[in-house]
Structure 1
């Protein structure tokens, strides 16, 4: 069993972050103050802190896509990834990279999608049908 990670990112609007991560992404809220909010991000401690959002114009080419060099996210179970992709589309979340299968038929085949939160932080949510492929070369 993996241990939970902790990640904190800056956001400029806590209410918008609460609506996005809590309502749209479905992450239960933990403790909070007027400066930060804890979320249960798929079993991990994710915190948004009131601050200046990170901006990143850098991208790297990956399988034909311009992937933001700074991003975070989760590796979900295959069916959960598809449920989330549908939920985000229905909530009119704008995708940086539309939900798709990357490296199809190759080592490391994965489902992936990229989008931003209201502060502009880039997220990647991905899945592998075969989790043994996560670190495969």
Structure 2
């Protein structure tokens, strides 16, 4: 297994972050204070840090004829877990930036992907490969 990453992101409300990451995404809550919360984000450390306002974001990039938010972060799941997460979010009536679909279908790097925003506006991508050897394929 690759080494876990550590990522710190800004949020404007820790209670909203707790509802999203702890509730909807079912991430285990770790250490916390009045200014931040650590999350087990699919085996990686994600820290939500309280800020007064969110930074201004650039416009999206076009990928596979979709407006992909920049910046964004996320994880690569196996296909079964990706489908289960997508189904859970759909049944929870989660709003997507880009709904779950198969990107680059029939081409190198074919992958399932979807994008959503957390309550603070941070963009997240979740992807999966039917053939995991395609992760870095050119």
Q: Output the TM-score relative to the length of structure 2.
A: 0.96
Partner of 1:9: 9
* 1:85 and 2:86 matched: yes
Query: Per the alignment, in what secondary structure is the counterpart of residue 98 of structure 1?
Result: strand
* 1:39 and 2:33 matched: no
Distance of 1:126 and 1:55 partners within structure 2: 26
In angstroms, what is the RMSD of aligned CA positions? 0.9
Query: Per the alignment, in what secondary structure is the counterpart of residue 135 of structure 1?
Result: coil
Superposed counterparts of 1:58-137, under 5 Å: 58-137=59-138
Gaps of 5+ in 1: none
Change (3 A) 1:55 1:82: farther
Pairwise CA distance, 1:25? 0.5
Displaced runs of 4+ in structure 1, greater than 4 A? none
Decide whether the 8 Å contact of 2:70 with 2:123 is kept in 1.
no
Distance of 1:54 and 1:111 partners within structure 2: 29
Distance of 2:63 and 2:50 partners within structure 1: 32
Distance of 1:57 and 1:34 partners within structure 2: 29
Distance of 1:35 and 1:104 partners within structure 2: 43
Gaps of 5+ in 2: none
Pairwise CA distance, 1:48? 0.1
